[in-house]
Amino acid sequence: MIAGTPLNHSCARTSICYQGYRLLLAGGLVAFLFLVFVPKTYPVPRQRNREATQYWQLGTGSRIAFVQIQARGDRKPFPVIFLQEVPGGSLSDRVISELGQLADVGYDVYLYDQIVSEDIWQYTPDRHRRDLVALIDTLDAPKVILIGHSWGAILASMYVEAYPERVTKLVLTGPGPLIPIREELAQMRAPDSLHLQAPGFSNREANQKVRNFRIMATEW
């Protein structure tokens, strides 16, 4: 009994330490999962309705909100369609005002909100292309002019790939990766005659700004 007492005490201390480590590990795991996976809320501007907003009910099942700026003066035969940078985003007054200047030279201008869905499996590039096809069919125009920014530039390229005969002009600003990607072209310097301007904020800077523990853990 006397000889065994130190051993029993040692075993008890080891068991307590082991339980402590398990609780510490479990607590750390819970904290990690909470920080990474529990949804957070972020401040976003409240959506407001515009008096000029209209709606299309497309054959794809999408109900699309859009703004039409009618041509002034001699109407051109081909309307302009603007494809915004992100599905689900709202059109800004600045974009509407700037593109609205095309109406002064005779173009009908259409700006629309790309559909979003609670079903993530419907949130696909093909769905957006089919919506664009149905939208252009609704306009019943022989050809259109597409202006695409960022993701909108990719969507415009997808449409042109399938229906090149229905697009008379294509303007792409700040496009994302267009397949096939040729990395060597990124090293080429554009001629000074183009008078290109550096962007005020690059994708690389944006990625660095939002890179935090949650993002890195999710990537890992």
pLDDT of residue 45: 62
Lowest average pLDDT, out of 81-85, 178-182, 184-188, 208-212, goes to 178-182
pLDDT of residue 9: 61
Q: Which one is predicted more confidently, 120 or 8? A: 120
Pair 64, 115: CB distance under 8 Å: yes
pLDDT in tens, 22-63: 888 898 888 888 877 777 776 666 666 777 888 889 888 888
pLDDT of residue 1: 47
pLDDT in tens, 77-120: 999 999 988 776 677 888 889 999 999 999 999 999 887 766 67
Q: Report the predicted TM-score, pTM, of the whole model to 2 decimal places.
A: 0.69
Q: Which one is predicted more confidently, 64 or 187? A: 64
pLDDT in tens, 17-32: 778 788 888 988 888 8
Tell me the average pLDDT across 178-190: 74
Could you check whether the bond before residue 175 is cis, i.e. omega within 30 degrees of 0?
Answer: no
Q: Give CB contacts under 8 A, 24+ apart, made by 122-130.
A: 123/87, 125/154, 125/155, 125/158, 127/60, 128/87, 128/155, 129/155, 129/158, 129/159, 129/162, 130/60
Tokens of 128: 């957006």
pLDDT of residue 82: 96
pLDDT of residue 161: 92
Tell me the average pLDDT across 181-193: 79
Give, for 162, the enclosing helix (H) or strand (E): helix 151-162
pLDDT in tens, 154-174: 999 999 999 999 999 999 987
